[in-house]
Structure 1
């Protein structure tokens, strides 16, 4: 049985335990927080590695291992970081009117193998072009058609081809970005899915929203149900879940709907112009439909994003330093405040470092490096000093999540008993869901049944948060490390509670 109880109740219970005779059977432990920066799975700054059908460059295991294991700087960055995430963008320019060739599919499989060997996970995006051309067109940015993406039948064919690869290699997929539509796969400048720029209608008509929804539905179907798809703007999700006529005031998802593997629960966001302007260059904007015009919707869509992002995968990149000082550190800027409110798990370390570098010189980069995504800190635990085989072991553990978000992919929570002499490990599986360990206090109390035949003796007590896939479950680099001193075991990926319990027959 698992119970979540308030901190005040835990403290009262701890006091009672010290006053009653049962105190000799329990021990209260207090832990020291670490401010060390270290890698943890599926969070933090990522390294972008784009490639294409014209000039395919495979992922390099040695390079990925270097980023994973040692603090690095990249490009024009003035800061160093660990990297457990790699952004892998595939540009399919040769296949705009043809199936993906078996050879290119094999190249993608090789990349998955390399990522797995290096101990990293991938953020995936597929597109058909990253080139723009100017001309005499109405668009304010002077990006003119034709844009060079692919038609809906071709996109759907490619998704069907990629589905077996995504299913087979979901263990090293952190998240898939919607991609496919428009220049850069950002779902804006598109020849086939409703050009919202002033080059065409200036809105996305209902038929184009429906076409986009068909693509997003195919992507959700192509991934295992425990993986999310990120969309470029919050309105894309609103009009997928509630249809092309959905208003920007559409209510956000609630906790009741979160993490249930429904399509609604599996759509997150990537903001590729974080704090670039008042509305992040159109991220928080209403692109209209067949019945309504385009127009500003910054405040209402930001509120929607903030509420949805508590339960979904959120990441992206900065793209322009023009919105300074708003995109700087506090007190002049609100970079950290925005990341916390919108539950960011990752950001690009390669772009735009005019913005990112300001966080280093402004003094908040160290905190951002630590807080992107989740960061769990043990505070105290009340654990039994002895227990009988076949009976109940009650663990009461207080943590805090000092990060901006909770983990977005499921993973087991385990209490481990490790024999101090033989080293044999007994796994006690928890009912806790680490995705619901949101920012702030995490109060974990649970009753575990000790196996009836467990050998009598002294056992270390540990916490293990391994990857959910059997292929990675015993890889320490894919396990979550708690941010405490003297608890992490690098060789096993376990977190020691620094306590020994005696198991009696």
Structure 2
């Protein structure tokens, strides 16, 4: 008997494999506090040679910082005499940015950080952003100021969502200034690109300006993502192609976005060519601006239903909550008319167009499925596989740290004390690759070829395990998932924001079973099978039918 027992002990016992967890996979349709995307609030910062006053209380946690350095431009008039000679018209002075001026900008970023916020930055010479023309200083001063601003911007990429490359024209929108040329905008933007780290995404006002920055001269002919010239430039530019984007302050006002896109595709970038570029190369680059009302005689496209199509192609991630206020108010009064996964008007009577847009700007992660090791054995290896659907218009634009929170399972106890918790880093998992849906356009067909479901597999070695039962949570920075926060599960909430993955048991007398995972951490995009006929698509999660303009039939 003793010999048999010894032989039995030498053969390790094995735990059972992955077990599907009983999680709630519903998108609860709450507006999430992920402030690196969504509706922003604008706030002006007037910077003086003496510094001035920094923004101490940001208007919102997603701020559009409109910093203006008009006092550093001899062409910017700060005050004009309207009294017939009793007062002097005052002008700025082209000079180096002072240390005090740069410190005010830095202190503003520090205050935004302390407010747990994010910021979209634009810097220009238009006094108080009043729309004054011909305020840009001589080009040499623009370049000098770019050199001086770059170190401050580089230091604060943790809170900067994107830099809208103003520096030229009224409102910093690269118009209403006779000194503006494509060459000058490109030189200044490329200097900023070279002087700042790749984490800083830089946006120009139109596709034409971005094309010039990237090295296109004849963009009406060459700016086609499938063309030979485009492929040649993309190869030469490398990752910079994915760093340069655009902001759109004429968004959806007309089919041309008030001149953002060209009407003559031989000399300018038209909407479809621009959208195709943003779709491919802006996949992790912020895109947005100001949505406008429609001018008389133009096609109406500023509807939630149109955004529910094109927004996914452009990865739209931010909009101004204040402008155009008439359009924003109309969205708030209009019910959303089509089904988009959990956002279903048939089940939610009060689902407005504004609610749909607000919740879908940028990324929106929903944990749809989770599988965990039933038992972790003496090797302390935990194996997991989970499916996250990104239902937002866009994708994460920065590298967020990903980790598992491992908690002692106290569910059912009186919870006299908070459970012990350990973290396990997942450095190989990049949530920028948890992509939203893909919509393809070919002739008259509009087809969803990917539904935003992304599968991730991990195998991690846990530290010391002291208890029998554990809970597992997925943390992606401080990003909130759209699933309902777990309640009554025996935690104090210290692991939040996080998504509940499920439970495992620890038994030091067994050895964990490793599923067939290709490496320690695997992330893959699940592209569903597509059965395509004209204006019709069948995908894994069900049947979707679209008209050529993207609206649901």
TM range (shorter): 0.7 to 0.9
On the 8 A contact 2:365/2:391 being kept in 1, the answer is yes
Cα displacement string for residues 398-427 of structure 1 (whole angstroms, at most 9, x for unaligned residues): 121111011111212222222347513131
Distance 1:287 1:118 in 2: 46
* Closer/same/farther in 2, CA of residues 460 and 105 from structure 1, 3 Å limit: same
Does residue 438 in structure 1 map to residue 431 in structure 2?
no
Q: How far off is 1:221 after superposition?
A: 2.6
Distance 1:101 1:93 in 2: 13
Query: How does the TM-score come out when normalised to structure 2?
Result: 0.69
* Closer/same/farther in 2, CA of residues 162 and 390 from structure 1, 3 Å limit: farther
On the 8 A contact 2:408/2:471 being kept in 1, the answer is yes
Greater shift, 372-381 or 98-107, is seen at 98-107
* Closer/same/farther in 2, CA of residues 183 and 382 from structure 1, 3 Å limit: same
Cα displacement string for residues 115-152 of structure 1 (whole angstroms, at most 9, x for unaligned residues): 0111101100000114556xxxxxxxxxxxx6111222
Gapped regions of structure 2 (runs ≥ 5): 1-13, 74-93, 336-352, 411-418, 437-450, 509-553
Secondary structure of the equivalent of 1:30?
coil
Cα RMSD, aligned residues only: 3.1
Distance 1:386 1:268 in 2: 47
Q: How far off is 1:430 after superposition?
A: 4.4
* Closer/same/farther in 2, CA of residues 22 and 392 from structure 1, 3 Å limit: closer
Partner residue in 2 for 1:30: 23
Greater shift, 238-247 or 160-169, is seen at 238-247
On the 8 A contact 1:49/1:89 being kept in 2, the answer is yes
Does residue 149 in structure 1 map to residue 136 in structure 2?
yes
On the 8 A contact 2:435/2:454 being kept in 1, the answer is no
Partner residue in 2 for 1:480: 479
* Closer/same/farther in 2, CA of residues 270 and 248 from structure 1, 3 Å limit: farther
On the 8 A contact 1:249/1:300 being kept in 2, the answer is no
Distance 1:401 1:322 in 2: 34
Partner residue in 1 for 2:470: 459
Greater shift, 423-432 or 374-383, is seen at 423-432
Partner residue in 2 for 1:217: 190
On the 8 A contact 2:16/2:375 being kept in 1, the answer is no
On the 8 A contact 1:41/1:480 being kept in 2, the answer is no
* Closer/same/farther in 2, CA of residues 273 and 248 from structure 1, 3 Å limit: farther
Partner residue in 1 for 2:241: 264
Q: How many residues align?
A: 419
On the 8 A contact 1:373/1:407 being kept in 2, the answer is yes
Distance 1:159 1:378 in 2: 42
Gapped regions of structure 1 (runs ≥ 5): 1-20, 68-83, 134-145, 195-208, 467-478
Cα displacement string for residues 256-295 of structure 1 (whole angstroms, at most 9, x for unaligned residues): x89x98222211221111111220111112899xxxx855
Secondary structure of the equivalent of 1:235?
helix
Q: 2:392 aligns with which of 394, 399, 403?
A: 403
Cα displacement string for residues 349-406 of structure 1 (whole angstroms, at most 9, x for unaligned residues): 0111111111111121111111111111111111112112545422111121111011
Does residue 59 in structure 1 map to residue 46 in structure 2?
no
On the 8 A contact 1:273/1:317 being kept in 2, the answer is yes
Secondary structure of the equivalent of 2:247?
strand
Distance 1:89 1:157 in 2: 20
On the 8 A contact 1:46/1:86 being kept in 2, the answer is yes
Secondary structure of the equivalent of 2:31?
coil
Distance 1:186 1:491 in 2: 44
Distance 1:110 1:181 in 2: 24
Secondary structure of the equivalent of 1:334?
helix
Query: How does the TM-score come out when normalised to structure 1?
Result: 0.75
Q: How does 1:129-140 map to 2 (within 5 A)?
A: 129=126, 130-132=129-131
* Closer/same/farther in 2, CA of residues 117 and 296 from structure 1, 3 Å limit: closer
Q: How far off is 1:41 after superposition?
A: 3.2
Q: 1:107 aligns with which of 104, 107, 110?
A: 104
On the 8 A contact 2:205/2:247 being kept in 1, the answer is yes
Q: How far off is 1:28 after superposition?
A: 2.9
Partner residue in 2 for 1:41: 35
Distance 1:312 1:251 in 2: 19
Q: 1:355 aligns with which of 313, 318, 327?
A: 327
On the 8 A contact 1:34/1:483 being kept in 2, the answer is yes
